[in-house]
Chain A
Amino acid sequence: MIHLSIQKKLQGAEENMRLEAAFSVKEGEFIALRGKSGSGKTTLLRILAGLEDAQGKIIVENETWLSKVATLPPQKRRIGFVFQDYALFENMTIEQNLLFVQKDKTLAAHLLELTELTALKNRYPNALSGGQKQRVSIARALMKRPKILLLDEPLSALDPQMRNKLQNELLTLHKEFGTTTIMVSHDPSEIYKLASRVIELENGKIIHDGTPKEVLLKTQGSQKFSFEGELLEIKKVDVIYVAIVAIGQQLVEVVISTNEAKTLKTGEVVRLSTKAFSPTISHS
């Protein structure tokens, strides 16, 4: 079990805010941390890792990591941290990056195999693609057999296919190593696929804590479809108004009434929903 209850003053985007978070995590849970940028997600991870100080308490399996009297340095916490920018040791080959953490050749070979990096093990990070670097970073974080694996938006810089592949790898590794994983992510499909629990932060406070279904699924009542998107443009076509909405990677056109055209503003985040018909799903 991990018990965490921390407070820290943050320099927010607009004003100073306080990060106040308290929650417990069961062993082996996969938690997704979401929230707008500047809501304190990365800071929360860094506090858990011991890279930033804070007030409060962190207790991991009866071991005190943070309390009023003492802070356990990051070196002594059994954590793996995957940075958003990979942060590989540029002067070492891929294999050396892993072995630097722990001189365990068998484990390194196994992790390289799992992440399909065996053929690249003698290369330097500079010669790898973004997806490969991120795999090295994940493998490196697991070299210490951490109790907690912390991932700071690990897949956000990758293209959708690579994301998909790495999501599966992450899930495999999480299960095999039995770590408790906390991952910052913005992508609902990624969260749904990987996480068993979602914690959402806003201005340093937890506003949602539940299963991905409870937190992410936004249809209510009899709604069949409900999408959140950005309103890009409202066009007048003859007598009607057409709104262009970006939903995920796709653009859709929706006919709207004159009244709606007046109240909606371009750039707004809007919800698009329908009740009247049954959706059909087919191969794309």
Chain B
Amino acid sequence: MIEALQNIEFTPFLISFKLATITAFVLFCVALPLAWYLSQTRSKVKPFIEAITALPIVLPPSVLGFYILWAFAPDSALGAFFEDAFGVKLAFSFTGLVVASCFYSLPFMVQPLQSGFESLNKNMLEASYVAGKSKFITLFKVALPNIKPSLLTAIIVTFAHTVGEFGVVLMVGGSIPGETKVASVAIYDMVEMMDYTSAHIYSAIMVLISFVVLLGVYIFNAKQVRRFGL
């Protein structure tokens, strides 16, 4: 057992966390304006955008993975463009994984932010406008600080969801050691090769980390409620 622990290869975990960190960061930048727009608009296109945003929740990861792989393929327009313009190969590469993860985890970032913004007292935002503050300042100084629990939930759940993804990662990234082999795929490989000891250790680590992260979120949110009555 101790020998098994010593021999454990941590690279898949590092890739998982690197992928999740980058995905959460990119998605935060993309989803923030989108969620703000959705929470403020009365436009008729809102349900369409919402439906598209929520698609990754209901679609089987294999469907999403298939389409992304198809779009990333070197002979497709998008794949060819990236290869020619930036010299980046999207299929079976880490960059491709990040892009795929962003699609896959989009709703987990957008939805908590949007519902957070929607739960804000509209008058509070208007008070800021009347005070002469632009929409931009209002978003960053008034809206965001008042939805801290939603903000944290959005970032952490996106992060955790990306760490936990399997189907899309396997299809788009394959299982290239040191490049696209994330922890969840590594566990799958171990089980396939009947290396149950390693699979046990990996799985236990995943459970532990996930639990600690979620516990942290809930403790923080409870504190926020006590402090601000949010």
Contact = CB atoms under 8 A, between A and B. Distances in A.
A49 B228 contact: no
Category for how many chain B residues contact A: 20 to 34
A75 B230 contact: no
Interface in B104-137: 121, 123-124, 126-134
Is chain A's binding surface mostly helix, strand, loop or mixed? loop
Contact of A90 (B129, B134, B141, B228): B228
A124 interface: yes
Interface size class of A (residues with CB under 8 A): 20 to 34
B127 A124 contact: no
Nearest to B122: A87
B228 A91 contact: yes
Contacts of A50: 130
A89 B134 contact: no
Interface string A53-86: 0000000000000000000011111011101010
Contacts of B145: 91
A144 interface: yes
A14 B113 CA distance: 36
A102 B31 CA distance: 31
Question: Does more than half of chain B's interface fall in helix, strand or loop, or is it mixed?
Answer: helix
B131 A90 contact: no
B142 interface: yes
A116 B207 CA distance: 54
A81 B129 CA distance: 10
Contacts of A100: 128, 131, 133, 141
A52 B121 CA distance: 17
Contacts of A91: 142, 145-146, 148, 228
Given A74-B129, A144-B132, A87 B124 contact: yes
A124 B131 contact: no
Contacts of A85: 121, 123
Interface string A117-144: 0000000101000000000000011011
Interface of B: 121, 123-124, 126-134, 141-142, 145-146, 148, 227-230
Given A51-B126, A76-B132, 11 more contacts: A49-B126, A49-B130, A89-B142, A90-B230, A91-B146, A100-B131, A102-B131, A126-B227, A126-B228, A140-B131, A144-B132
Interface of A: 49-51, 73-77, 79-81, 83, 85, 87-91, 100-102, 124, 126, 140-141, 143-144
